Structure 1
Amino acid sequence: MPLTSLTAMSPATEPSSVPALRLEPVTPENIDAALELKVRPDQEHLVAPVARSLAEAYAYGDTAWPWLVYDGERPVGFLMAFFDVVFQPGDQPRSGLWRLNIAADGQGRGYGRFAVEQVAAEIRRRGGTRVCVTYVPGEGGPAGFYARLGFRPTGGRSGDQDVAELELA
């Protein structure tokens, strides 16, 4: 996909309380803003920092899809998706959300929902039928957030993280 911005195209996929959201690729012009994004201190053990995600995006090349979430001119989050990855021999290829960091002062405003919806739309565009996500389980973790979006735990694990999936209609 060419490095251009992605903007929500329809009110059906865009939170009504946040009308000016869009995704932008990480570029030399916005990398410092990306690196400054921080989740709340009590969430730091739940998600890797953006710097680690960008290093993994570099190492994994075409597998990783790193983008910034903007509200107007302000970056408010970071997401990284993956597409058609086979994790173990004999597995079906999976696509999903690899990383989601919403700035501490931007949480609860629909930015995370927007990010997940954009990843789902890209997976659908590429012919996929489900979105996978992994997350650290436990108190204060994102399990409830993903459940509210329709993700269902698979019972599987990826390292120390639980796996959940969302079937796309």
Structure 2
Amino acid sequence: MSVLIRPAVPSDIAACIDLRGRTRENAVPAARLAELGITEASWSGQVRDGELPGFVAESAGVLAGYCFGDAGSGEIVVLALLPGHEGHGLGRALLERTVAHLRGLGHQRLFLGCSDNPAHRSHGFYRRLGWRPTGERDGHGDEVLERLPD
């Protein structure tokens, strides 16, 4: 499967919102994102202004996944893949690109919210990649994991 990973641009955001509702776990439909204040206009504006840098993966010209981070805080805000692209290293590649970008902005400590349920794919995924629990919870009730420089 040939996949192109590139920096996200504002015109990617409509497809990102659509994909977010089609993930295997923790799918969030566009209507729910809008209730949270996440719209195509708000998200694409954050990308345009450099506040929410990220990377997208395309396969045969179709969005397969993405990862975005907060330039101000060092938070990995979202990593999402279509189910057919799981298990091929794409999530790891997207995450590594976003981590490298945030490190390049000067962030030593990176963090993210993650399910603490071992049955969820994300639970083991992040831990295998060196993310560690902080004992904190975010505003959504998720466990906060952090990654310090290697």
Q: Which residue of 1 aligns with 2:75?
A: 96
More displaced stretch, 152-161 vs 53-62: 53-62
SS of residue matched to 2:72:
strand
Query: Quick check: 1:120–1:168 contact (8 Å CA) kept in 2?
Result: no
Match of 2:104 among 121, 125, 138: 125
Deviation sequence 1:54-98 (CA, Å, 0-9, x none): 55535866532354222463321022210233xxxxxxxxx0211
TM-score by length of 1: 0.67
Query: Quick check: 1:157–1:163 contact (8 Å CA) kept in 2?
Result: yes
Output the aligned Cα RMSD. 2.7
More strand by share: 1
Task: Go from structure 1 to structure 2 and tell me whether the alpha carbon gap of 1:54 and 1:117 turns closer, same or farther (over 3 Å shift).
Answer: farther
Percent identity, aligned pairs only, is 24
Q: Which residue of 1 aligns with 2:56?
A: 68
* Count of aligned residue pairs for this structure pair: 138
Shift of 1:147: 0.4
Match of 1:146 among 107, 115, 126: 126
Deviation sequence 1:132-153 (CA, Å, 0-9, x none): 1111221225110000111011
Q: Which residue of 2 aligns with 1:163?
A: 144
Gaps of 5+ in 2: none
Moved over 6 A (4+): none
TM-score by length of 2: 0.74
More displaced stretch, 143-152 vs 125-134: 125-134
Gaps of 5+ in 1: 1-17, 86-94
